[in-house]
Amino acid sequence: MTGAKDTPSSLVADWNTLHRVFIRPEDEKSRNTLVKYMEQILFGLHDFLNNHVGVTEEISLIRLAEEYTDTKINAEPLKKLADVIKDIIEEIAPRAVNVASPYFIGHMTSAIPFFMVHLKAITAALNQNVIKLETSKVLSILEKQILAKIHRMIFNFQESFYLEHVQNTDTSLGVFTSGGTTANLTALWVARNHCFQPRGDFESIEKNGFHAAMKAHDLERLVILVSKRGHYSLRKAAGILGLGNQNVIPIDVDAKRSIDLKKLKAKIKYLTADKKTKIMAVVGIAGATETGVIDPLSKLADICEQHNIHFHVDAAWGGPVLLSEKYSKLLKGIERADSVTIDCHKQFYMPMSSGMVYFKDPKALDTIVYHARYVIRPGSVDLGIKTLEGSREANSLILDSALKIMGSKGYALMIEHGIETAKLFAKKIKKRPLFQLITKPQLNILTYRLVPLDIQKKLGTVDLKERQELDAELDEINIKIQRIQREAGKSFVSRTRLRNLPDDPHNVVVLRSVMMNPMTNGHILDEILDEQEAILQSLSEP
């Protein structure tokens, strides 16, 4: 974008300017300008995102990239804040993706209530660092309270338990993280460390390392079991924690597309027969990323209890469903988990980026304690003692305020709308001859594909090999439809690959939709399907 040569001569980097940017606008006029632009950000940008139906401006990535090739940092200031804000509103916002559009039903990122922007601005203005009390004070205390509230939502222990732990500086019910990936990593870090109790000279895996731990415990392999729908962050965690990502063993799914319990039990039997292998954790998914399907959590809890295995539930997506009286039963068994991941920037509708991980045992996090001389000193009550992240913003303030504004009932309304809109979408898909529903929604995610009538006819009669050939043809068609729709910029669904039929291990391309925008309705869904039909039609035209 604009290079240093365009620097207006009036703008210079000197102490006067520096004072101004640190203190406040120097006169009434600049102050009014800033207030005007803040108003645009707080309301205008939000209105823009809501009214601007197209999901993104029609401009190719290549053309965009060509505009962003200036790699020199300007020495003198280029613009005043007001001009920078104006540029963002006029040049950046229209070229970003309008994830707030009700036609944007492809990913787990969507519209957020407008007050979230205000709360985020307040968090930035306060600029607290909850790593330590010295930089956060009441925000650390507030964080402990909200952690206890969500812990209660999951585990629902007695009042006396929460009174004991809510502000207990020796115990932690959970921690905020940067997202689901780091929440899963934290949970598995704790699970790994619990596997290796002291033995002889060996003190802990955290201190002595992976090799010493395996040697002291006479082990050669440490594994994690999860259905093949497990999020890839689990494999990252296994890589970072030293297990190796090939030791996240994917268990097949059954006809309901949740973890196949028979196959899981058989795998556990096989693995435990080898005394050199230890199962570090079993992960149950509460809302699989691609399908939204929830694993049978109570049954997984039974298996983990029987074999004394850490039971982690990845509820990054589905966790807030617990706020809905109508649908919370879908997560039955989550209260028996040892640890639970929940993302704030998913169904808590918070701005990017924030996640959380909870532990049933308030002492579980003791195995990942770290101290430093200048902060988080031994004996201090700094929250950063038991977190993967160092410096952290006070996201707890946003969640706490949002719950005050919405109440659990407000959240339940949004979550129920998502699930019911997904069910409505499934009905519409089933009614249309050109569409095939691949995974029906258990929560608010579903997948489907378009199948031209001539291919449909053939599919009914062919053998497995011929079916795979036709599927390959359908894959190409569906990839094209998704791309063309995305590039047209009016609406958006994503795509992935999933098994179509239980007896066929082969994956097919499916279109994936995630219903979380409360403004998405039946009429909009019809428009999205009409557009896809029209694209299919255009593909067969010469």
Ligand X SMILES: Cc1ncc(COP(=O)(O)O)c(C=O)c1O
Name the site residues for ligand X (rule: CB under 6 A): 108, 179-181, 184, 231, 233, 285, 289, 314, 316-317, 343, 355
Residue 291 contacts residue 498 (beta carbons within 8 Å): yes
Tell the smallest beta-carbon distance from residue 295 to ligand X (Å).
11
Nearer to ligand X, 184 or 193 (CB): 184
Residue 301 contacts residue 328 (beta carbons within 8 Å): no
Tell the smallest beta-carbon distance from residue 83 to ligand X (Å).
34
Residue 223 contacts residue 282 (beta carbons within 8 Å): no
Let me know if 141 is exposed, middle or buried by CB neighbors in 10 A (0-12, 13-18, 19+).
Answer: middle
Tell the smallest beta-carbon distance from residue 339 to ligand X (Å).
13
Tell the smallest beta-carbon distance from residue 286 to ligand X (Å).
8
d(CA 141, CA 153): 19
331: Cβ contacts below 8 Å, ≥ 6 apart = 286, 294, 297, 315, 318, 319, 321, 322
C-alpha distances (whole Å) from 151 to each of 351, 493, 509 are: 21, 33, 38
Tell the smallest beta-carbon distance from residue 444 to ligand X (Å).
12
Helices (H), 460-512: 464-488
Taking 3-state DSSP, the helix, strand and coil percentages for the chain, each rounded to the nearest 5, stand at: 50, 15, 35
Tell the smallest beta-carbon distance from residue 185 to ligand X (Å).
9
Point out the residue whose Cβ comes nearest to ligand X: 180
d(CA 156, CA 343): 19
Only one residue has tokens 């996201």, namely 395
Nearer to ligand X, 86 or 107 (CB): 107
d(CA 217, CA 227): 27
Nearer to ligand X, 321 or 477 (CB): 321
Nearer to ligand X, 300 or 477 (CB): 300
Nearer to ligand X, 108 or 173 (CB): 108
d(CA 510, CA 495): 6
Nearer to ligand X, 55 or 313 (CB): 313
Does a cis peptide bond (omega within 30 degrees of 0) precede residue 298?
no
d(CA 381, CA 130): 11
Nearer to ligand X, 217 or 236 (CB): 236
Nearer to ligand X, 77 or 250 (CB): 250
Instruction: State the DSSP code for 174.
Output: E
Tell the smallest beta-carbon distance from residue 466 to ligand X (Å).
35
Tell the smallest beta-carbon distance from residue 287 to ligand X (Å).
6
